Amino acid sequence: FIDAARRKGSTVLVFDDAGGATCAAGVVIAYLMQSQGTGLLSALLHVRERLLYLEPPVALVELLGAWRVHLLDNEANLAVSQETPRFASLSGPLATPRQLSASGVAAQY
């Protein structure tokens, strides 16, 4: 819903009904890290510019740090899965150097 509102140019209010801005700020920080690839500190400072009184508990910062690591791992796994295998163009049977020398193939090179 945040992306859809931002595409329309709307302002989004993330509200914490539990009686504080900490959870709402955590949601916004996690959103910034995921949608824009922002680091934890940059996202925290961005939110803190708008909520001057924000003092997130250490446990929340640790949780957001773990979320950032998770996002980076997913990016790395995606990059590896899209990588072309290095030896994809090779074909034919594989042999050890000893097998090649016994068959006389090595002498041809």
Q: Is the pLDDT of residue 63 over 50?
A: yes
Residue 1, pLDDT score: 80
The model's confidence at residue 96, banded by pLDDT at 50, 70 and 90, is low
Q: Tokens 């940059």 label which residue?
A: 42
Contact 2, 27 (CB under 8 A): no
Confidence of residue 106 (pLDDT cuts 50, 70, 90): very low
pTM of the model: 0.65
CA–CA distance, 75 with 108 (Å, rounded to integer): 45
Quick check: 105 and 94 in contact, CB under 8 A? no
